[in-house]
Structure 1
Amino acid sequence: MDSGWMAVWPVGAFFLGGLATQVTGWLNHRRQRAERAADEASVIQGRREEFELAHLVEFNGLLREAADRLFDLAGVVQRYRRAEVADALTAEHSAELHAASAALTVVRAAVSAQLGFILHDRVRMAAQMASASIAMTSSSVLDGENTEFEEVTAMTAAAYTALSARVRDIYAGRASV
């Protein structure tokens, strides 16, 4: 009986070794696949963050320019109205008014085009509200209404705050990775 077991042990050990090799290979394959998936997810997240950061920074600049053009337009309209009242209106006043209005229109179009690229909902909502406030204020300025700039200032400030907070959140997430 001892000699029978002695013949079975090498065969059993051979099969157990093969089985252990297969299990180890399978476990290594699963680990490598999980690592590849994590690397791919990290690359995709990095691309998303780069995209979002680029558009947040670009939008911030466009919003600042839109606010600047709005205030420029308000000054031009004020000079135009004073010249109109004093019967001193010239072609230069009209040209300046047209140029200021056109500059604001161009930058407002750029702001509108970039709104859709803001991925974070809360930030996009704040940006949309600031954009709408600039549009409404520019209409009242052009209509000659007595315009208060507190609302547009508050809306753009809220948008700047949301934009900068989102940029900080993105960079804070990168620091923890």
Structure 2
Amino acid sequence: MDKGWMAVWPVAAFFLGGLATQLTGWINYRRQRADKAADDASAIEQRREEFELAHLVEFNGLLRQNLACLYELSTAVERYRRAESRDDLTAEHGIALRAAGDALESAEASVNAQLGFILDDAVRGLAQEAAAEMDSTSAYILDGDNVTFDEVRAKTDAAYRALSERVRVLYAGRPVAA
């Protein structure tokens, strides 16, 4: 019986070795799949953050441009009305007014086109409020109403703060609060 076991051990060792190799291969495969899934998720998150960062910074600039165009429209309307009241209205006043109106219209279109690319709902909401306030203020300016810009400044400042905070959160790599 001792010789029988001696013949079985090499065969058993061969099968156990094959089984161990298969088990090790399966474990390595599972670990590699998990690592690849984690790498893929990390790459997707990184692309999302890069997209969001680029659009937040771009939108901040567009919002500032929109506000500058709004101030320019206000100045052009004021000059036009003053010249009109003094009866020394020239073609240049009309050209300046049209140019300011066209620039504001272009800036508003750029802001509105980028609003949807702000991924954070709270930031997008504040940005929409600022854009809407600028739009309604431009209508008041063109209607000849006295405009103080207090509400525009308050809403744009809130939007700027939210945009800046979101950029800081993304750059710092802190988890986003839900």
Answer whether TM exceeds 0.5 for this pair.
Answer: yes
- Which residue in 1 is equivalent to 2:153? 153
The yes-or-no answer on 1:113 pairing with 2:118 is no
Partner secondary structure for residue 88 of structure 1 = coil
Q: Residue 23 of structure 1: CA displacement?
A: 0.4
Measure the CA separation in 2 of the matches of 1:9 and 1:168.
65
Letter paired with 1:151: E
1:109-162 deviations in whole A, cap 9, x for unaligned?
011111111111111111111100100001001100111211110111111111
- Which residue in 2 is equivalent to 1:98? 98
Measure the CA separation in 2 of the matches of 1:163 and 1:2.
81
Equivalence map 1:28-177=2 (5 Å): 28-173=28-173
Q: Residue 6 of structure 1: CA displacement?
A: 2.0
Measure the CA separation in 1 of the matches of 2:69 and 2:8.
91
TM-score, with structure 2 as normaliser: 0.93
Letter paired with 2:145: E
Q: Residue 37 of structure 1: CA displacement?
A: 1.3
Partner secondary structure for residue 151 of structure 1 = helix
- Structure 1 runs, 4 residues or longer, greater than 4 Å off: none
Measure the CA separation in 2 of the matches of 1:92 and 1:11.
101
Q: Structure 1 vs Structure 2: percent identity of aligned residues? A: 65
Measure the CA separation in 2 of the matches of 1:89 and 1:13.
104
Partner secondary structure for residue 112 of structure 2 = helix
Q: Residue 84 of structure 1: CA displacement?
A: 1.6
Letter paired with 1:171: Y
* Total equivalences in the alignment: 174
Measure the CA separation in 2 of the matches of 1:159 and 1:109.
18
Measure the CA separation in 2 of the matches of 1:167 and 1:161.
10
Partner secondary structure for residue 117 of structure 2 = coil
Q: Residue 58 of structure 1: CA displacement?
A: 0.9
1:152-175 deviations in whole A, cap 9, x for unaligned?
10111111111111111111118x
Structure 1 vs Structure 2 CA RMSD: 1.2
